Amino acid sequence: MPREIERKFLVEELPPGLEDCERIEVEQGYLALAEDAEVRLRRAAEDLTLTVKLGAGEDRGEYEVQLSAAQMDALWEACEGRRLRKRRHRLPLEGGLRAELDVYLGELDGLRVVEVEFPSERSAGEFAPPPWFGRELTGDRRFANRSLAVDGAPPGVYGGGDREGR
């Protein structure tokens, strides 16, 4: 089974150089949700995917299938009430790793989290996050995208000031 090993953090202060990194608009919707499984649709520019994730926390099973525009449009309607939008910034980190900083839009405006995917559990455990990463959220189900899409953000998580850095 393909695996996804990642850690997630709450971002209070945006890092310098954000305007120079790759960024993309992302829409996600959830077709099905179970205790330790989800079926998600994602539109990230021209990349349209259906993803099945199994498990929770740092190490999860993940299957992904590319969709056509017609398939995405046909399934998107079924995600009503379980959607979110975000702007994803991809930033290089030491050791060949990459941070994916998500700045949420719409009803989640102001929420910012960063994730890093790792090649192994060992590298995930050895990772020393930069100071701007903030409090670790790995395994906190309240901050899973599926929970954010259905329940909104947990109370009291928004930083003040300039939310998007624009």
Active site residue 63: no
CB under 8 A, 24+ apart: contacts of 162-165: 162/14, 163/103, 163/109, 163/110, 163/112, 164/87, 164/103, 165/14, 165/18, 165/19, 165/103
Question: Residue 20's CB: how many other CB atoms inside 10 A?
Answer: 9
Angle of CA points 39, 158, 89, to nearest 5°: 60
Q: Which amino acid is at 134?
A: G
Sign of CA dihedral 59, 60, 63, 67: negative
Residues 117 and 88 sit within 8 Å (Cβ to Cβ)? no
Catalytic residue of the set 30, 63, 104, 158: 30
User: Cα Rg for the chain, rounded, in angstroms?
Assistant: 16
Give the residue numbers marked as catalytic.
30
